[in-house]
Copies of this chain bind each other. A is one copy, B any other.
Amino acid sequence: MTVTTLHTPSHREALWELESAFDRGDLITVFGECSVEYEGRAASTLGLGNRLLVLKPDGSALVHTDEKRTPVNWQPPGSTHHAAVRDGRLRVRSERTSPDETLTVRFTAVHQLSAMGVTGGRDLEVTGSEADLRRRILEDPDLVEPGFEPTAVERDSAAGPMDVFGVDASGTAVVLELKRRRVGPSAVSQLARYVDAVAEEPDRDPDAAVRGILVAPSITDRAAELLADRGFEHVALEPPEPETPGAETKATDSAEAAEPKAETTEPEEPKAETTEPEAETLGTETASDDDEPIEADAPEPSGSASRESQQ
């Protein structure tokens, strides 16, 4: 693995290294004293200070201070990086079009410049998303309510696509809005938009009701009021098992669901999903182990360092 590093380089030296790093497609970090300007969708200025600039080969640019997860300034992927020496400073500029945006970083001093060849390994696997929650519901629609039958996912409406659409035990249309986490008023509005759109569809009996159900781990008080005003309902449900199944079971919210689920029997054959119903335990991991047995069990064999946050 090639890593090129310059310590307190002159602007010319830094410029030269940036040039070749751009050519190599390296990931670049520049640490130094700089001011930053941005102009595009908005505009901003940032006075002199020490920051870390990261330039990625895909055109991304990040300016980080010593605080916050979000960069103080940035440029999204697809931008074009330029470097030059102007007015006695090293200027790095990242530009893009549609929208036209320019990020300019002017270094009065470069403390360190590194260029690294980075390759692949971007295959992140995530669990606990709204898609996981949807899978869970499609596999066992009774979790929403006994007799619920999903008929479509992402069904389009005049107000946009609905997460899940279906009918209840009495044949009434039901719109589900799913959220992976606790939600507020905006989720109720979103649900209302879809329900209203369905209710007004021309081929529908104007007198036929359309139910709206917000499926989320929990909702705020205000959201509950708005939900009640519209005659909508809330079903407490969350994505399956982001926490490891072994220990640390946190099904605390299940109490909110209250409704004794009449045992998760064979789903009413949800047309759209004929998968084996036993998959209700989709979160199971064979031979699950605790978080890190090797490390957790081992006594400190080689020392350890820690630091407390000081915000």
A residues in contact (CB < 8 Å) with B: 1, 3, 5, 7, 11-12, 15-16, 18-19, 22-23, 25, 27, 29, 31, 33, 39-52, 54, 56-60, 62, 64-69, 71-87, 91, 102, 104, 109, 111-112, 114, 116-129, 158-160, 180-181, 185-186, 188-190, 192-193, 222, 225-226, 239, 241-244, 250-251, 253, 291-292, 294-295, 298, 300-311
Give bound CA distance, A46 to B122, whole Å: 7
Question: Known: A18-B305, A122-B65, A189-B193. Contact between A86 and B294, CB under 8 A?
Answer: yes
Give bound CA distance, A128 to B120, whole Å: 37
Separation in Å of the A187 CB from the closest CB of chain B? 10
List the number of copies, as a whole number: 2
Chain B residues in 8 Å Cβ range of A43: 126-128, 241-243, 250-251
What are some 30 contacts across the A-B interface (CB < 8 A)? A1-B111, A3-B7, A3-B112, A5-B112, A15-B303, A25-B310, A42-B127, A43-B243, A46-B121, A47-B123, A51-B121, A56-B64, A56-B68, A58-B67, A60-B69, A69-B75, A82-B305, A83-B305, A83-B306, A85-B303, A86-B295, A102-B291, A112-B116, A114-B114, A159-B226, A160-B185, A186-B186, A186-B189, A189-B192, A189-B193
Separation in Å of the A60 CB from the closest CB of chain B? 5
B77 touching A69, Cβ below 8 Å: yes
A121 touching B50, Cβ below 8 Å: yes
Chain B residues in 8 Å Cβ range of A158: 222, 225-226
B83 touching A309, Cβ below 8 Å: no
Q: Which 9 A-B pairs have the closest CB atoms?
A: A49-B121, A22-B307, A19-B305, A42-B128, A59-B309, A189-B189, A66-B118, A86-B295, A85-B302
Chain B residues in 8 Å Cβ range of A239: 42
Give bound CA distance, A186 to B118, whole Å: 39
Question: Known: A45-B253, A295-B87. Contact between A80 and B50, CB under 8 A?
Answer: no
Contact of A306 among B82, B116, B122, B251 (CB under 8 A): B82
Separation in Å of the A81 CB from the closest CB of chain B? 5
Having A5-B112, A45-B124, A80-B307, one finds 4 other A-B pairs with CB under 8 Å, namely: A5-B5, A39-B291, A66-B122, A80-B308
A69 touching B65, Cβ below 8 Å: no
Chain B residues in 8 Å Cβ range of A29: 29, 52, 114
Question: Known: A91-B295, A116-B112, A126-B43. Contact between A68 and B60, CB under 8 A?
Answer: yes
